[in-house]
Structure 1
């Protein structure tokens, strides 16, 4: 048997492993875990809009809120392990290609690799919190710390500016793709009822647009931190959300964005049920 045949069989075996039920279960568990975090962030942001916000409207605030619930410590571990599953799923996509006809493209695999790194970091932070570590501060402080270190690098001002512009573009793309319902290609729409499809569109469009808007605002302030050479101008998730309340629309816009983030959390549950993995 020649090396080409052996290589083809090895590749097929690897792809089969990547598409195994275990990876599929991990992906769906991870999507549901992401949904929990976004719903909590949305609720916290809504409380801020109503003038009753005691927690940061970011991942840290969501984890603190979750820990205070009955069986909160167990739920923290459940969410953290789910996010590990999400990271492993994205890693398998990076290594062997995602589901769909264009899942093997280099650009798709690179994006999956970046997502795997991101969710691995998020999973680590959640599991560390579950294990009793206090964490590294709010998302706002983390953003300022990272920006400060980046500005000290050679050509740091340019790097931070480009990063901010990239986040703005990513936010716009996220919102636009949600508005155009690009997620349809990832869903098992043939198995969904008309009501399920309508429900997924409401949560997917509303949630995706709100999520993209927050990312765009975060990117804007990162870029402004570069222009003004001031890391304190950078904002994390919580400060970016509070910025919406400072617009002429006032707290009502923040409430709308908060509802959108909660919708994205619900959409994540729908994806956990209907997404092709």
Structure 2
């Protein structure tokens, strides 16, 4: 009896949600216990130091599946987003999330080979590269505006608790699912707003040193906001673990996609 590839990808996607949750738990705990700020790539390095190769293999499998699932949603609307501009924006967001998590899988592969490292200045290095290109400052400003939009969307999601519609009904009605998700999305929204502001400033001033990602945004926060956001990110990790078990996932039609691709090949 052969395994259903669609079902296998869906199951591994749940592992991806769990891996995402683990990284956010690490990010939150690092701030609360040591004051150290990291982004997901930096948290991945911390996990690699303490978890060993087996855990890295699981994270790689999970993030590869999660990234492919997100990209499939962007391309084929497997999550059944509504038509129109709102649905298009949601699908574009799914595609961006897929790319980010495939990048994290690649980072985990590098760590497995012993060549990966945590770099808090990765955003500034990217900004420096962008500024060396024609129109680079405008590109940074646009990227910052996109992040600001994502931040607002995360805050709206936290306020309206729209994330609950993706959970199994018996779990979506539980208070712990609601408040963990609301705190998590609110914290992420604030981080995206700060990061977006940094990028806009970097583009406007044409200084890469003004740019910053999650690690820099968290380091910029002062007491008590740093602690509150850290707790929020910790709870987003908890909510990601809830999603790993209880999110309603639509199977990616792997067989149908493969058949469609074969039909377009020249005979």
Aligned-partner Cα distance in 2 for 1:269–1:75:
16
1:117 matched residue in structure 2: 99
Q: Closer, same or farther in 2 for the Cα pair 1:144/1:172, shift >3 Å?
A: same
Please state if 1:192 is matched with 2:176: no
1:66 matched residue in structure 2: 47
Structure 1 residue 107: deviation in Å? 4.5
Aligned-partner Cα distance in 2 for 1:103–1:83:
28
1:161 matched residue in structure 2: 141
Matches of residues 1-277 of structure 1 in structure 2 within 5 Å?
Answer: 20-47=6-33, 52-53=34-35, 55-69=36-50, 71-100=51-80, 102=82, 106-135=88-117, 137-138=118-119, 140-189=120-169, 191-192=170-171, 194=173, 197-245=174-222, 250=223, 252-277=224-249
Q: Which runs of 5+ in 1 are unaligned?
A: 1-16
Q: Closer, same or farther in 2 for the Cα pair 1:99/1:36, shift >3 Å?
A: same
Structure 1 residue 39: deviation in Å? 0.5
RMSD: 2.2
State the TM-score, normalizing by the size of structure 2: 0.83
Asked whether the 8 Å contact 2:81–2:91 carries over to 1, the reply is no
Greater C-alpha radius of gyration = 1
Q: Closer, same or farther in 2 for the Cα pair 1:177/1:131, shift >3 Å?
A: same
State the TM-score, normalizing by the size of structure 1: 0.81
Aligned-partner Cα distance in 2 for 1:60–1:166:
21
List structure 1 segments (4+ residues) > 4 angstroms apart after TM superposition.
103-108
Structure 1 residue 193: deviation in Å? 7.7
Aligned-partner Cα distance in 1 for 2:213–2:81:
36
Aligned-partner Cα distance in 2 for 1:217–1:81:
31
Aligned-partner Cα distance in 2 for 1:109–1:57:
27
Q: Which runs of 5+ in 2 are unaligned?
A: 250-267
Aligned-partner Cα distance in 1 for 2:220–2:47:
25
1:9 matched residue in structure 2: none
Q: Deviations over 1:52-93 (max 9, x none)?
A: 34x542234322322333x43321221122111101211222
Asked whether the 8 Å contact 2:108–2:116 carries over to 1, the reply is no
